[in-house]
């Protein structure tokens, strides 16, 4: 690895161009990958990273340009040829069959379809050897449907290694992993590179790019805008290259809090399966304030957001909105009380994937604002969608596009617009920037800060402590359904919040609290 | 004759196995299609076409096994039609299947009238005769029930074993199961989802047609318009009952057939004299529904069943 300059070129992309209708997803992109090298392919959502890799892997056919692997030009549009040439791809959305076992998934397609017997024994032995060699612990006999996300990813990597892949492409591999799983993945990748494999690592997380890659290739709007040795660049430079300009995070100016808009005192809710309910939670949301809720995922964040959005009811304590006790609570009433919701899962609860932008734009208001005498006012709805697209910079072909075709960032902008256009008094922002690139993150944060200035009370739920500390006027920590007192901005260091997140500082849970 | 006597008589079980045979063929055919991710509602019509094609071929002079082969090829042709619309074109499998059933049924009746314009009752052929298996047929109860059947019934049982072997022990079977569960996984491993699904639908339809041909070549010796009589739809239920597993589906087919054989015999008992016979006719269906509800609650449906696969869509 010392003399990379002389190392063999294993992969060469030359002048790749790919158009989808009017959109140019890749515009004359060329780069090379050397043996034993990790290249980070960096870019915002929609910059063309995944398209480029799908061309390399033969799932799309390029309009121009060619792919060369170990000196051989790959026939376009043929995944089989890419596999045979030694290219293995770990897709962002796993391609595994849940009802098959781990070894069956790995072996699939590697033995001739005409063969009379599936050679299971040899396959198992080879998988065992590979898992030991690359520290990819997974039980070959387990059904894939029962595995955790981290384990599934290991199966995907094993699939590639089983086929003797010499080049590994990983598309946003850490998006679904916990920090510990990401560390384990990096260890595996270093092991693989040490044994002569080459890796293309697609990401938009700068700290990962800095940690794992030798070289960084930056894509923006389908064009290759920069190529740097990672050691000679910086996070700031890469961020600027990615978005095409200086990155400016929104500033939160101090301002006096307004009246209390929502008050929970001693509120408990029922848990749901393994997810805890709230235990005697006290929380006050003030107008013109962002309250951040920090905590390790699965500690009652869902219980709190369900309560506020009307999906759950308190079983004890008092719950007031604007001074009035809440009765007959439901999502519809939550909307009537002008609570705007940015749900945690934008794909499943935030939008309806196969509905178009117009329909998704009026999901919450179609009955009240876009219906007359029981008939839908599609003209008005479409105008509303067009307005949101323009105001909130939703990049899309038009209001008739099915929303599933949008990138996460653009989907989130539409949801954000849908919420903010109703001028909500209280905004429940649950993981509002998860999976988004820097540009979209700053956009969403900026809009939330703006809503705060206009006097909305914002509850920001996030697992990212940096995000919480950057935006919040007051920080609460949630642990096992218990809420910490509010800590004013700047009074707590991250380490201290981390201790609360680990459950220190709370009154011990009593049996009575559990029973409620 | 009371129920206990019926259930312990070899003749009853022999009848049950005979009634089960066409169901076994067609159920295996449907199971292959569904395991690959295609619901084949053409089954009812394909069985009608198979019953007719096998019979008319033998009537025209082919040997009985020649008739089976003709039925199989006829089924494959309708399978090809179903496959083209449901796999590469990705049309709604319900609509395509019902279309194939209507087409195959009507085309069969039309062909019948073209070939035999003048006859009032269809001609008879010499059907498959029972073949006694030495020694095995001497086992009490099981012997006469299982081992004194026509060759086509033996073929049905062998088919179940073959389907299970191929599905679970060969690379091809693995690919078929994966295509019904996660076509994108199949594509990512460099295999063609289209080819696998087309193949499954074509071969599966062939077996459905053989199931139909069993009626004309083994159970009876002639062809009637309404002889399939909903057996195809029963097979769709049997696949669910069997949780998409060949062995369990076989058990389901025998169970259903046993209820059917039982109701015929119950009609002749003392209860049959007072209870309207229509109630007995309903019995196998009612009991099957109950069994279906009980057995299939925890079944794992192939995740991509009825989901067309389009390369390059996100």
Candidates A15, A11, A13, A12; CA nearest to A65 is: A15
A113: nearest CB among B172, B184, B185 = B172
Question: Does the distance separating the beta carbons of B174 and A100 come in below 8 Å?
Answer: yes
Cβ neighbors of A272 (< 8 A, separation 6 or more) are A302, A303
Distance CA(A169)–CA(B168), nearest Å, equals 31
B182: nearest CB among A95, A112, A404 = A95
Residues of A with Cβ-Cβ distance to B189 under 8 angstroms? 83, 95, 108-110, 159
Question: Does the distance separating the beta carbons of A98 and B181 come in below 8 Å?
Answer: yes
List alpha helices for A213-323, DSSP H. 235-243, 301-309
A108: nearest CB among B169, B185, B300 = B185
- Calculate how close chain A gets to B311, using CA atoms only, in Å: 8
Question: Does the distance separating the beta carbons of A118 and B169 come in below 8 Å?
Answer: yes
Question: Does the distance separating the beta carbons of A97 and B188 come in below 8 Å?
Answer: no
Inter-chain contacts counted by CB atoms under 8 A, chains A and B: 88
Show me where the domains of chain B are located.
3-116+141-295
Q: Among A181, A215, A243, identify where a domain stops.
A: A243
Determine, yes or no, domain membership for A249.
no
Question: Does the distance separating the beta carbons of B311 and A59 come in below 8 Å?
Answer: yes
Determine, yes or no, domain membership for A3.
no
B185: nearest CB among A80, A96, A110 = A96
- CB A446 within 8 Å of CB A250: yes
What DSSP string runs through A60-76? S--SEEEEEETTEEPPT
Q: From residue B81, give the alpha-carbon distance in Å to each of A31, A301, B1.
A: 46, 53, 49
Determine, yes or no, domain membership for A252.
no
Digitized pLDDT (tens) for each residue of chain A, 516 residues in all: 444 456 789 999 999 999 887 778 899 999 999 999 999 999 877 788 888 988 998 888 999 999 999 999 999 888 889 999 999 999 888 899 988 999 999 999 898 888 888 889 999 999 999 999 998 989 999 999 888 778 899 999 999 999 999 999 998 887 667 667 788 899 999 999 999 999 999 987 788 889 899 999 999 888 999 999 999 998 888 888 887 776 677 778 888 889 999 999 999 999 876 678 999 999 999 999 999 999 877 789 999 999 999 999 999 999 999 999 988 899 989 999 999 999 988 888 889 989 999 999 999 888 888 988 889 999 999 999 999 999 998 988 889 999 988 888 889 999 999 999 999 999 999 999 887 777 788 889 999 999 999 999 999 998 878 788 889 999 999 988 999 999 999 898 877 888 888 788 887 765 444 443
DSSP type of residue A46: T
Across B179-273, the runs of DSSP E, i.e. the strands, are: none
- Considering the domain architecture, whether residues A119 and A229 belong to the same structural domain is answered as yes
Show which residues on chain B lie within 8 Å of chain A, measured between beta carbons.
169-175, 177-178, 181-182, 184-191, 300, 302-303, 311-312, 314
Candidates A126, A123, A100; CA nearest to A111 is: A123
Question: Does the distance separating the beta carbons of A79 and B190 come in below 8 Å?
Answer: yes
Determine, yes or no, domain membership for A2.
no
- Considering the domain architecture, whether residues A359 and A485 belong to the same structural domain is answered as yes
Determine, yes or no, domain membership for A253.
no
- Calculate how close chain A gets to B307, using CA atoms only, in Å: 14
B182: nearest CB among A98, A110, A404 = A98
Distance CA(B244)–CA(B180), nearest Å, equals 11
Query: What are the tens digits of pLDDT across the range B253-285?
Result: 999 999 899 888 888 888 777 888 888 888 888
Question: Does the distance separating the beta carbons of A105 and B187 come in below 8 Å?
Answer: no
Distance CA(A401)–CA(A395), nearest Å, equals 11
- CB A46 within 8 Å of CB A407: yes
- Considering the domain architecture, whether residues A296 and A380 belong to the same structural domain is answered as yes
Beta strands B131-132; B148-149: pairing state: antiparallel
Residues of A with Cβ-Cβ distance to B314 under 8 angstroms? 404-405
pTM: 0.77
Residues of B with Cβ-Cβ distance to A153 under 8 angstroms? none
- Considering the domain architecture, whether residues A276 and A238 belong to the same structural domain is answered as no
Determine, yes or no, domain membership for A233.
yes
Q: How many other CB atoms sit within 10 Å of the CB of residue B305?
A: 17
Cα A458 from chain centroid? 21
pLDDT value of residue A276: 84
- Considering the domain architecture, whether residues A229 and A274 belong to the same structural domain is answered as no
pLDDT value of residue A77: 84
- Considering the domain architecture, whether residues A237 and A272 belong to the same structural domain is answered as no
What CATH number should be reported for the domain holding residue A459? 3.40.50.300
- Calculate how close chain B gets to A24, using CA atoms only, in Å: 16
Question: Does the distance separating the beta carbons of A105 and B178 come in below 8 Å?
Answer: yes
A277 token code pair: 């309910």
> Which of A54, A78, A95 to mutate: most B Cβ within 10 Å?
A95
- The length of chain A, given as a count of residues: 516
- Calculate how close chain A gets to B156, using CA atoms only, in Å: 21
Dihedral sign for Cα atoms in the order B30, B35, B36, B37: positive
Question: Does the distance separating the beta carbons of B175 and A109 come in below 8 Å?
Answer: yes
With 70 as the cut, is the pLDDT of residue B113 above it?
A: yes
Residue of chain B minimizing CA distance to A163: B189
- Calculate how close chain B gets to A463, using CA atoms only, in Å: 28
pLDDT value of residue A1: 44
- Considering the domain architecture, whether residues A283 and A140 belong to the same structural domain is answered as no
Distance CA(B67)–CA(A332), nearest Å, equals 66
pLDDT value of residue A513: 45
ipTM above 0.95, yes or no: no
Residue of chain B minimizing CA distance to A82: B190
- Considering the domain architecture, whether residues A212 and A285 belong to the same structural domain is answered as no
Q: How many other CB atoms sit within 10 Å of the CB of residue A76?
A: 15
Residues of A with Cβ-Cβ distance to B191 under 8 angstroms? 80, 108-109, 113
- Considering the domain architecture, whether residues A17 and A157 belong to the same structural domain is answered as yes
Question: Does the distance separating the beta carbons of A60 and B171 come in below 8 Å?
Answer: no
- Considering the domain architecture, whether residues A392 and A483 belong to the same structural domain is answered as yes
Distance CA(B292)–CA(B255), nearest Å, equals 11
Across A269-408, the runs of DSSP E, i.e. the strands, are: 281-286, 289-294, 316-321, 324-325, 339-342, 371-372, 375-376
Beta strands A87-90; A167-171: pairing state: parallel
Determine, yes or no, domain membership for A374.
yes
- Considering the domain architecture, whether residues A225 and A331 belong to the same structural domain is answered as no
3-state helix, strand, coil in chain B (%, to 5): 70, 0, 30
Question: Does the distance separating the beta carbons of B189 and A118 come in below 8 Å?
Answer: no
- Considering the domain architecture, whether residues A60 and A157 belong to the same structural domain is answered as yes
Question: Does the distance separating the beta carbons of A104 and B174 come in below 8 Å?
Answer: yes
Q: How many domains does chain A have?
A: 2
> Which of B170, B173, B189 to mutate: most A Cβ within 10 Å?
B189
The topology (CATH level 3) of B3-116+141-295 is ABC transporter involved in vitamin B12 uptake, BtuC (1.10.3470)
Question: Does the distance separating the beta carbons of A83 and B174 come in below 8 Å?
Answer: no
Cβ neighbors of A193 (< 8 A, separation 6 or more) are A1, A36, A37, A38, A199
Q: Which domain holds residue A432?
A: 260-515
Interface check for A515 against chain B (CB to CB < 8 A): the answer is no
Residue written as tokens 């809720």? A293
Residue ranges of A 89-118 with Cβ closer than 8 A to chain B: 89, 91, 93, 95-100, 104-105, 107-118
What DSSP string runs through A159-175? HHHHTT-SEEEEESTTT
A133 — alpha (psi -120 to 50), left (phi > 0) or beta? alpha
pLDDT value of residue A330: 92
Distance CA(A408)–CA(A398), nearest Å, equals 16
Residue of chain A minimizing CA distance to B301: A99
Mean pLDDT is lowest, of A262-276, A450-464, B6-20, B26-40, for: A262-276
Residues of A with Cβ-Cβ distance to B173 under 8 angstroms? 118
Residue of chain B minimizing CA distance to A117: B170
A79: nearest CB among B181, B188, B303 = B188
């Amino acid at each position: 690895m010392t003399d990379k300059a002389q190392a063999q070129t294993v992969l060469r992309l030359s002048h790749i161009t790919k158009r989808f209708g009017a959109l140019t997803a890749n515009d004359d992109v060329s780069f090379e990958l050397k043996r034993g090298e990790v290249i980070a392919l960096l870019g915002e959502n929609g910059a063309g990273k995944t398209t480029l890799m799908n061309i390399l892997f033969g799932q799309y056919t390029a309009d121009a340009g060619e792919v060369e692997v170990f000196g051989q030009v790959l026939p376009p549009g043929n995944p089989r040829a890419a596999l045979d040439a030694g290219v293995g791809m770990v897709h962002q959305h796993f391609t595994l069959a849940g009802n098959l076992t781990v070894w069956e998934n790995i072996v699939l397609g590697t033995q001739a379809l005409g063969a009379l017997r599936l050679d299971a024994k040899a396959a198992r032995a080879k998988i065992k050897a590979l898992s030991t060699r690359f520290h990819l612990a997974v039980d070959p006999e387990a059904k894939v449907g029962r595995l955790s996300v981290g384990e599934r990813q290991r199966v995907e990597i094993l699939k590639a290694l089983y086929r003797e892949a010499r080049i590994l492409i990983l598309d946003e591999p850490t998006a679904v992993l916990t920090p510990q799983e990401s560390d384990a993945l990096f260890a595996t990748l270093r092991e693989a590179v040490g044994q002569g494999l080459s890796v293309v690592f697609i990401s938009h997380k700068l700290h990962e790019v800095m940690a794992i890659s030798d070289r960084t290739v930056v894509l923006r709007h389908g064009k290759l805008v920069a190529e740097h040795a990672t050691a000679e660049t910086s996070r700031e430079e890469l961020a600027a290259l990615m978005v095409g300009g200086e990155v400016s995070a929104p500033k939160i100016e101090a301002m006096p809090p307004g009246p209390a808009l929502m008050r929970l005192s001693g509120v408990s809710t029922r848990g749901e399966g393994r997810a805890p309910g709230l235990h005697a939670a006290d929380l006050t949301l003030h107008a013109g304030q962002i309250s951040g809720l920090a905590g390790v995922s699965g500690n009652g964040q869902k219980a709190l957001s369900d309560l506020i959005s009307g999906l759950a009811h308190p079983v004890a304590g008092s719950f007031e909105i604007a001074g009035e006790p809440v009765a007959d609570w439901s999502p519809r009433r939550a909307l009537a009380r002008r609570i705007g919701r940015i749900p945690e899962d934008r794909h499943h609860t935030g939008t309806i994937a196969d509905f178009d932008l117009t329909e998704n734009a009026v999901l919450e208001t179609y009955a009240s604002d876009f219906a007359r005498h029981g008939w839908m006012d599609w003209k008005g709805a479409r105008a509303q969608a067009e307005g949101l697209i323009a105001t909130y910079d939703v990049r899309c072909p038009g209001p008739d596009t099915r929303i599933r075709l949008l990138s996460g960032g653009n989907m989130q902008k539409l949801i954000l617009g849908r919420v903010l256009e109703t001028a909500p008094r209280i905004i429940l922002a649950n993981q509002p920037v998860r999976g988004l690139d820097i540009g979209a993150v700053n956009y969403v944060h900026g809009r939330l800060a703006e809503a705060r200035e206009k006097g909305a009370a914002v509850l920001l739920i996030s697992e990212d402590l940096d995000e919480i500390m950057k935006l919040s006027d007051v920080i609460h920590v949630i642990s096992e359904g218990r809420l910490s007192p509010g800590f004013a901005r700047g009074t707590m260091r991250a380490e201290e919040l981390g201790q609360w997140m680990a459950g220190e500082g709370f009154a011990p849970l009593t049996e009575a609290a559990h029973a409620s | 004759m009371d129920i206990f006597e019926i259930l312990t008589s070899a003749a009853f079980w022999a009848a049950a196995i005979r009634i089960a045979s066409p169901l076994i063929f067609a159920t295996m055919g449907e199971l292959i299609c569904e395991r690959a991710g295609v619901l084949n509602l053409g089954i009812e019509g394909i069985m009608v076409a198979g019953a007719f094609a096998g019979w008319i071929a033998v009537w025209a002079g082919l040997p009985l096994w020649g008739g089976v082969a003709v039925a199989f090829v006829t089924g494959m042709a309708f399978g090809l039609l179903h496959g083209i619309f449901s796999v590469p074109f990705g049309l709604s499998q319900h609509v395509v299947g019902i279309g194939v059933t209507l087409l195959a049924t009507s085309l069969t009746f039309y062909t019948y009238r073209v070939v035999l314009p003048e006859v009032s009752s269809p001609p008879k052929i010499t059907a498959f005769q029972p073949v006694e298996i030495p020694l095995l047929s001497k086992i009490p109860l099981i012997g006469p029930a299982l081992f004194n059947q026509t060759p086509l019934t033996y073929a049905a049982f062998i088919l179940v074993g073959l389907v299970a072997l191929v599905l679970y022990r060969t690379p091809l079977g693995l690919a078929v199961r994966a295509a019904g569960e996660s076509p994108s996984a199949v594509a990512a491993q460099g295999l063609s989802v289209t080819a696998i699904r087309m193949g499954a639908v074509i071969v599966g339809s062939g077996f459905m047609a053989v199931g139909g041909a069993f009626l004309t070549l083994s159970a009876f010796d002639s062809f009637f318009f309404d002889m399939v009589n909903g057996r195809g739809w029963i097979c769709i239920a049997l696949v669910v009952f069997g949780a998409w597993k060949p062995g369990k589906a076989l058990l389901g087919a025998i169970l259903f057939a046993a209820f059917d054989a039982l109701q015929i015999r119950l009609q002749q008992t003392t209860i049959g004299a007072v209870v309207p016979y229509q109630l007995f006719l309903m019995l196998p269906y009612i009991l099957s529904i109950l069994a279906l509800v009980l057995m299939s609650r925890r079944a794992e449906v192939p995740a991509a069943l009825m989901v067309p696969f389009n390369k390059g869509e996100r």
